[in-house]
Amino acid sequence: MNSVLTTRIDVSNRTVGGRTIALVVFTPPAGGLISWTRAALAALAAAVDAIDLAAVDAVAFIGTGAVFGAGADLAAFGSVSSRTESEQIARDGYAAFNRIGRLRLPTFAFLNGVALGGAFELALRADFRTVAARATNLGLPEARLGLVPGWGGLGLLADLAGPAAAAEIAVTRSLSGRALSAADLAACGVADVVIDDADFIGASLAWAAALLARTAEADAAATPAGPSAVGRPAAAAPWQPEALRAAVRKRIPGELPAVEKTIELLSAWQRANDARPASVPAGPTASRPARTAARLARGGDPIEAETIVTFGQLLQTDECRAAVYAFFTLQAARKRSRPGGTATAVSQVGVVGGGRMATQLALIFAERLDVPVRLTDLTPEQVAQALDCIADQLGRAVTRGTMTPQTRARVAALITGTSDLADLAGSDIVIEAVFEDLAVKRGVWESIERVVRPGALLLTNTSSLSIADQGAGLRHPERLIGFHFFNPVAQLPLVEIVRAPRNTDAVVAEAFALAGSLGKTAVLVKDSAGFVVNRLITRWFSDTLRLIDAGADAKLVDDALVADGFPMTPLTLIRHIGPRVQLHILAHLEEGFGDRFAVSPSLRRIVQQSLPSYVGPDGCLTPAAAEAIRSILPSPGDRVLPPLDQTAVRALLLHGLADEAGRMLADGTVHSAADIDACMILGANFPHHTGGLTPLLDRSGASLAARGTLFHP
């Protein structure tokens, strides 16, 4: 059972304050994670069964280091081919975890760190939970994987905090990738105590022993001297499934089977809860005997059978397969971006430019690298405006609660401004974020090269311009590399590292190490117009506008891919980017790739008339934009566009994306379809349940139609 290839389970008795606690410890295999394979679940069940309950007062569970545990072994899901096998994964988890639920002694989970999926469900089985103050990445991410928590987590969370709070964790947070912190876990009433102590195990055992030593009438929230207990929510929020459905649809249009099934399971829990006899407590109670007695009185999970069937169904869906593929794709990309030994020793960073993107770059370099950052622009007035913008961004981060006042003060002190490029002479890294014009960028780099040391790393944040062309006039063009962030920088994790022909392996390695140090995930791309994200997005824009300019209904075309989960419609995205910027990008890609990226007559007219976009904040075509489109339409007798419905428009747009993605692989812009999908998920917010882009293109038939083959045969 305890093979070196699986999680090891060890049990030892620990006596603290006159109370003996059986401590069950999870240890990962060498170089692996604490994950719950079938062998690990069997080992857990055997370990729990072997505990001499007569010799102990309670049972506690804890992980190793800063990890309590992860969930099921996702790699094994790929070999599951039937509904029966899928359901068995859920049955195995329930069989092991139900042994914890049947223990007739008080049970504790000591959450020493990361606890996701099945590990979090295991922790919910306990009567009490301590959590390390530093702990993050806690929760139930299954909906993001196209699944439901398969081992009882939904019902247990609903027991603790109500179905609305369970849905917030298992649906809303899961889909947005927002795990819980220790403070979050306390706020929702799942954690009994947050422990800020270097000896977390010792402090947790002491807390548990003190609780056990008190009388049955004592309130578990009033702990003895030591860590402060957490009060539980006064009342659960009402369960409103339709409001949840509406909120999810607003963020991610289209069908999400895992979300619907989660809602159905929580509704089933609510019905079962309403039918419970009044003598059976429906939620956590304060005193130790009552808490344990309530668990035993409730018996098993009232939605166990439905959960097993639902898990089995979902594991066989296209959405789940695509989401699991996305998980491993992003995991591989993140591993490549881990900081290594090749990172540049940085004493100062220079940022050229004072616009919105430049100020965001100054902030991330200062916060993450903790080194002085010198921002430069053309005039002292522009520099002052940029520093004011940085101060405003820092203030709003504190207001949102994403930054402490102490961090704000530290970061603000690191960032200074200058209008003299010579002040960047001491910079080990210089990054530019000036206007997307080749002549402007060339001038910047030629000026920078004259003042920085020969070994400085030069980064261009260009979104589409050739790195080789930018560095054509440099003495050392090999040290200029593309380092393309996405807006907003603090939220989107992607950096496209754009390798020019003369970049050395050492420079590329430095860029990857730097991306990891900044908390970003890097994908290597070839120096070609638009790189990955902008090239694909602009092809989508080009095909969309081509149809609109030929007389197709703008609303029909704009909404054609909404049901596929695309994060924004193309016309809404153009509104955010700005028509003038998008026209510039389209013209550049037309120059590089020809009429696949033909400049749109209506877009040119929108820019000429200084209109803000095609659509207003409501997503509807504005009267001025409608008139601009009418003004460029061919005369009725010259129109050759056949009548199109949404199905036909969808097919045309997906065909274009499949064609462009295939060309990118053929011309070496990226090495694999997985690179494309990592870029689209991390840089363009494409959803996990579509697998990014290429699995969707395969499922829709667009890959075969455009290329004659699948991206994932």
| Cis geometry, peptide bond prior to residue 579 (ω within 30 degrees of 0) | no
- Among all residues, which ones are annotated catalytic? 121, 142
pTM over 0.85: yes
CA distance 367 to 397: 12
Pick from 86, 33, 598, 587: which is nearest to 312 by CA? Answer: 86
Task: Decide: 86 and 104 in contact? Cβ < 8 Å.
Answer: no
Which residue type, as a one-letter code, is found at position 116? L
Q: Could you tell me the CA-to-CA distances from 471 to 399, 535, 578, 702 in Å, in that order?
A: 41, 22, 28, 38
Q: Could you tell me the CA-to-CA distances from 201 to 122, 132, 155 in Å, in that order?
A: 18, 9, 28
CA distance 482 to 468: 10
First to last CA, the chain: 36
* Other residues' Cβ atoms within 10 Å of the Cβ of residue 506: 11
Long-range contacts of 168-174, Cβ-Cβ distance < 8 Å, separation of 24 or more: 169/139, 169/140, 170/139, 170/140, 170/142, 170/143, 170/262, 171/143, 171/244, 171/248, 171/259, 171/262, 171/263, 172/244, 172/247, 172/248, 173/139, 174/139, 174/140, 174/141, 174/142, 174/143, 174/144
Task: Decide: 433 and 353 in contact? Cβ < 8 Å.
Answer: yes
CA distance 221 to 381: 57
Which residue type, as a one-letter code, is found at position 410? R
Residue the block writes with tokens 């050759």: 640
Residue 279: its pLDDT value, please? 53
Residue the block writes with tokens 């921002």: 375
Q: Is 415 helix (H, G, I), strand (E, B) or coil?
A: strand
- What are the average pLDDT values for consecutive 10-residue runs of the chain, which has 713 residues? 68 95 95 89 96 97 95 88 94 97 96 96 97 95 96 95 95 93 92 92 96 60 41 66 93 89 97 77 51 88 97 95 95 81 80 96 97 97 97 94 92 97 95 94 96 95 95 95 96 96 94 94 96 97 96 94 92 94 92 93 97 94 96 76 87 98 97 97 92 96 97 95
**How is residue 696 annotated by DSSP?**
H
Task: Decide: 556 and 646 in contact? Cβ < 8 Å.
Answer: yes
Name, in order, each residue with C-beta under 8 angstroms of 416's C-beta and a sequence gap of 6 or more. Answer: 372, 373, 374, 375, 387
